[in-house]
Amino acid sequence: MDADSPLFDAYLRDVHQRYAAIDDGKVADYIPELALAKPEWFGLCVVTKDGQCFEVGDSRQLFTIQSIAKAFVYGLALEDCGREYVNRRVSVEPTGEAFNAIVLDEVTNRPYNPMVNAGAIATTDLVQGKDAVERLKRMLDMFERYTGRSHDINVPVFLSEKTTGHRNRAIAYLMLNFGMVTPRIDETLDLYFQQCAILVNAHDLAMMAATLANGGVNPVTGVRAIDSQYVKDVISVMLTCGMYDYSGEWAYHIGIPAKSGVGGGITAVSPNKLGIGTFSPRLDSKGNSVRGSRVCQALSEDFSLHVFSVEQAKLDLDVYLRGDLGDRSSS
Ligand code: GLN
């Protein structure tokens, strides 16, 4: 279903125009392929839990999903192995450290959470399948259930991550040393580098978030992407750990569970309401998209989308989505 509310559409266009003027931040360049992104790219998309879709700007521009995949692969690991087993392998504690820190819990040897590289490599290890091909297929099928379309991998990005990813390899081997991952670690690392290089756009990210907001069912296709019992697990770690070592501030100021990636994307879930997807490759010092963060903040403040907000919203979301402000303004 396409957008049928000109009011919300106009709101989103206004937000896009306002923040397109911001040119703070820096495109990721730790591998040359990411530095090819045009700094001015800026796409926004909002999908409601009943499948209305609003998009502005470069919302169909493809980029690599990077760390955003971690939230969804965590969901797949939960489905494959169950909550109890996954919790024995990966904790859910924020680190306050950089996403690529080489640090494990001193007592249990578990990575701190599924959103940092160590935790994501551990959850990737838990993705089942008889061989590398089947494991990758199961992962890509999962993303297809969320977005409603099939996904490719950016092969140069994958190969570049694989060639230069010594730090991730070090983390993986440290976990192997502690018996926290299985010995097929090189296959798992490939799967981890491949998941980072999956191509998505802002529309996909909004659809993925809307699917979580809708209890795990894609609101447009009606396909279930994840068992409903694990939806709150995924959204919880997004809220506590999804925005690198800015996660606490994000939860406090913006309060929409979200996950970002160094490709410039953010996916944000407003439970039972809507999903937000943003893409703008200029990143702040924590690695979060500058414009994407501002857009989420604007939506949170204007429509009172902070998950713990008890205040009346400045703008009434239902009215904006119905698009019939006339009723109210005349009353
Ligand atoms: N591919 C990146 C890495 O493993 C993921 C980075 C990210 O989005 N934070 O270092």
Average pLDDT estimate for 63-84:
98
Residue 21 CB contacts under 8 Å (≥ 6 apart), including other chains: none
Among 135, 169, 196, the domain boundary falls at 196
Which residue among 30, 99, 102 is best mutated to probe the pocket of ligand 1, counting the most ligand atoms within 8 A of its Cβ?
99
pLDDT of residue 329: 45
Strands 258-260 and 265-270: antiparallel
**pLDDT per residue over 183-225, tens digit each?**
999 999 999 999 999 999 999 999 999 999 999 999 999 999 9
CA of 209 to the centre of ligand 1 (A): 20
Average pLDDT estimate for 147-174:
97
Which residue among 73, 100, 159 is best mutated to probe the pocket of ligand 1, counting the most ligand atoms within 8 A of its Cβ?
100
Lining residues, ligand 1, CB within 6 Å: 66-67, 99-100, 117, 161, 168, 196, 261-262, 287
> Look-up: residue for tokens 């802002």?
202
Ligand 1 atom closest to the Cα of residue 117 is 4
Tell me, yes or no, whether 31 lies in a domain.
yes
Tell me, yes or no, whether 331 lies in a domain.
no
Q: What is the DSSP string of 236-262?
A: HHHHHHTTGGGHHHHHHHT---EEE-T
CA of 100 to the centre of ligand 1 (A): 8
pLDDT of residue 306: 98
Identify the band that residue 16 occupies on the pLDDT scale cut at 50, 70 and 90: very high
Find, among 303, 301, 256, 252, the residue nearest to 275 by Cα.
256
CA distance 210 to 150: 17
Find, among 158, 155, 151, the residue nearest to 137 by Cα.
151
> What spatial distance separates the first Cα and last Cα of the chain, rounded to whole Å?
30
Tell me, yes or no, whether 188 lies in a domain.
yes
Pair 191, 224 in one domain: no
CA of 314 to the centre of ligand 1 (A): 36
Among 181, 196, 211, the domain boundary falls at 196
Find, among 104, 101, 82, the residue nearest to 91 by Cα.
104
Tell me, yes or no, whether 1 lies in a domain.
no
Asked if the model's pLDDT at residue 276 lies above 50, the reply is yes
Name the residue at shortest CA distance from atom 2 of ligand 1.
Answer: 66
**pLDDT per residue over 86-131, tens digit each?**
999 999 999 988 889 898 998 999 999 999 999 999 999 999 999 9
CA distance 219 to 200: 18
Pair 301, 219 in one domain: yes
pLDDT of residue 203: 98
Find, among 269, 259, 329, the residue nearest to 48 by Cα.
269
Asked if the model's pLDDT at residue 323 lies above 90, the reply is no
Pair 219, 162 in one domain: no
Name the residue range of residue 223's domain: 6-66+200-325
Pair 191, 81 in one domain: yes
Identify the band that residue 325 occupies on the pLDDT scale cut at 50, 70 and 90: low
Computed on alpha carbons and rounded to an integer, the radius of gyration of the chain in Å comes to: 19
Residue 42 CB contacts under 8 Å (≥ 6 apart), including other chains: 16, 19, 20, 57, 58, 279, 280, 291
Q: Which residues of 229-251 are buried (b: 16+ CB within 10 A; e: fewer)?
A: ebbebbbebbbbbbbbbbbeebb
> Look-up: residue for tokens 């392998």?
89
CA of 45 to the centre of ligand 1 (A): 23
Pair 83, 165 in one domain: yes
Pair 109, 189 in one domain: yes
Asked if the model's pLDDT at residue 2 lies above 60, the reply is no
Pair 192, 206 in one domain: no
pLDDT of residue 1: 52
Q: Which residues of 10-41 are buried (b: 16+ CB within 10 A; e: fewer)?
A: ebbeebbeebeeeeebebbeebebbeebeeeb
State the total domains in the chain: 2
Pair 97, 129 in one domain: yes
Tell me, yes or no, whether 162 lies in a domain.
yes
Pair of tokens at residue 160: 């570049």
Asked if the model's pLDDT at residue 20 lies above 80, the reply is yes
Tell me, yes or no, whether 237 lies in a domain.
yes
pLDDT of residue 131: 98
Average pLDDT estimate for 231-237:
98
Tell me, yes or no, whether 314 lies in a domain.
yes
Element (H, E) at 290: helix 290-303
Pair 80, 166 in one domain: yes
State the CATH number of the domain containing residue 143: 3.40.710.10
Pair 205, 313 in one domain: yes
Pair 147, 225 in one domain: no
Cβ atoms of 144 and 15 closer than 8 Å: no
Among 166, 196, 226, the domain boundary falls at 196
Pair 172, 216 in one domain: no
Tell me, yes or no, whether 92 lies in a domain.
yes
Predicted structure pTM score: 0.96
Name the residue at shortest CA distance from atom 7 of ligand 1.
Answer: 67
